[in-house]
Amino acid sequence: MSKSASKIRAPAVGAVLLQSMAGRWDAFGNQVARARKNPTERTIHDLRVATRRLIATLDIVGTALPGGACRRSRRQLKRYLRAFSTLRDLQVQIIAVRELAVRFPFLQPFLTVLMVRETLLVKRSRREVFAIQMTPMEREVSAAGHRLESLLADPVMADAARSAVLGALGSAFVRAGGLKAGAMTGKTNRIHRFRIAFKRFRYTLEALQPLLHDATGEVLKAMNRYQVMMGEIQDVDVLESMVSIFARRRARSAPVQSLRLKEHLADRRKDLITRFIASAGEFDRFWRDSSPPGC
The Cα–Cα gap between 202 and 190 comes to: 18
Q: Which CATH class is domain 3-288?
A: mainly alpha
Q: Domain extents for the chain? A: 3-288
Per-residue pLDDT at 214? 65
Which DSSP string do the residues of 84-105 spell out, in sequence order? HHHHHHHHHHHHHHHHHHHH-G
Helices (H), 69-154: 71-103, 108-130, 134-151
User: For residue 25, what are the contacts with CB-CB under 8 A and spacing of at least 6?
Assistant: 54, 138, 141
Per-residue pLDDT at 128? 86
Per-residue pLDDT at 270? 94
**H/E element holding 67?**
none
The Cα–Cα gap between 16 and 210 comes to: 7
- Closest by CA position to 25, among listed 74, 91, 68, 64: 74
Task: Tell me the pLDDT band of 230, cut-offs 50, 70 and 90.
Answer: very high
Comparing 181 with 87, which gets the higher pLDDT? Answer: 181
pLDDT, average across residues 29-55: 90
Per-residue pLDDT at 252? 63
pLDDT, average across residues 208-220: 80
Task: Tell me the pLDDT band of 119, cut-offs 50, 70 and 90.
Answer: confident
The Cα–Cα gap between 57 and 70 comes to: 11
pLDDT at 281 over 50: yes
The percentage of residues in the chain with a pLDDT greater than 70, rounded to a whole number, is 92
Position 113: which residue type? V
pLDDT at 3 over 90: no
Least confidently predicted of 30-44, 107-121, 253-267: 253-267
Task: Tell me the pLDDT band of 217, cut-offs 50, 70 and 90.
Answer: confident
Comparing 56 with 246, which gets the higher pLDDT? Answer: 56
pLDDT, average across residues 200-222: 85
**Contact (Cβ atoms closer than 8 angstroms) between residue 61 and residue 148:** yes
Per-residue pLDDT at 2? 35
pTM beyond 0.85, yes or no: no
Per-residue pLDDT at 4? 36
The Cα–Cα gap between 71 and 189 comes to: 29
Q: Which of 6-15, 23-32, 56-65, 145-154 has the highest mean pLDDT?
A: 23-32
pLDDT, average across residues 278-292: 82
Per-residue pLDDT at 12? 75
Per-residue pLDDT at 292? 62
- Closest by CA position to 238, among listed 200, 261, 269, 279: 269
Per-residue pLDDT at 294? 53
- Closest by CA position to 162, among listed 293, 269, 274: 293
User: For residue 16, what are the contacts with CB-CB under 8 A and spacing of at least 6?
Assistant: 207, 208, 210, 211
Comparing 7 with 220, which gets the higher pLDDT? Answer: 220
pLDDT at 160 over 60: yes
**Contact (Cβ atoms closer than 8 angstroms) between residue 118 and residue 94:** yes
What average pLDDT does the structure give for the chain? 86
pLDDT, average across residues 187-198: 94
pLDDT at 198 over 50: yes
